[in-house]
Amino acid sequence: MRYFKKMAGEHIYLSPMNVDDAETYVKWMSDQEVTDKIGSSSRIITVDGEKKWIEKNAGEYQFAIIRKSDDALIGNCGIENVDQISQTAEVGIFIGDQSDRGKGYGTEVLKLLLDYGFYTLNLHNMMLRVFAFNEPAIHCYKKAGFREFGRRKEAYFAMGKLHDVIYMEAVREEKQ
C-alpha cells in the first residue's frame, strides 16, 4: 500500500509522506501559481532535493493529503515549529492542482490538523500565515476556525509587487 490513513475526514485522509511522490511535489513546487501562494517562488527544487527533504521531514508532522475516492495525492500539509512548553505551533497546507482547489478539501485538512494538534499534541494555539491576495485561502482558514490576529504590511514580494502578510490563529477553547 502506498498511503496509510493517519487521520481521516469525509473526503480526504492524511498519510505519512511517501518519497516516491517527490517528482509530483517538484512539479507542483515549480508551478508559479502554487509557489506564489505559499511563499516559495524563488526556490529551485529538484527531485533529489525533494526526496532528501521528505526523508528528513516525513516523521515530523508532515503529511500527504490523499483524496479518499481514488487514493490520489492532492497536496501536502504539516504542523511546524512545535513548542511544547508554550503549547504553540504553525500549520501549513497546499493543494497542488487547480482542479482540486475550491472543493472543501483544505478546510477538511485544517480541521484534522487542529484536532491532531489540540487533542493529540496538547497544543493550545496554532497559527498560520497567508498573503492578502489569497482570498480563497483566507476564506478556507476562517471556515476551519482560524481568525486574523495581525498583519505585516507589504512584507511579501510576488507577482511584481508587495503584499501584506496576514497572521491567523486558532485557539483550543475557541475551536468550533
Q: pLDDT digit string (tens) for 62-116? A: 999 999 999 999 999 999 999 999 999 999 999 999 999 999 999 999 999 999 9
Q: Does 148 have pLDDT greater than 80?
A: yes
Helix (H) / strand (E) element for 55: namely helix 47-57
% residues pLDDT > 90 (the chain):
90
The highest-level CATH class for domain 7-126 is: alpha beta
Is the pLDDT assigned to residue 24 strictly greater than 70? Answer: yes
Q: What is the pTM of this model?
A: 0.94
d(CA 172, CA 118): 6
CA-nearest of 124, 113, 46, 115 to 84 is 124
Mean pLDDT of 114-134: 97
pLDDT score recorded for residue 176: 52
E strands of 24-122, at which residues? 62-67, 72-83, 88-95
- Strands 72-83, 62-67: pairing is antiparallel
Distance CA 58, CA 29 (A): 17
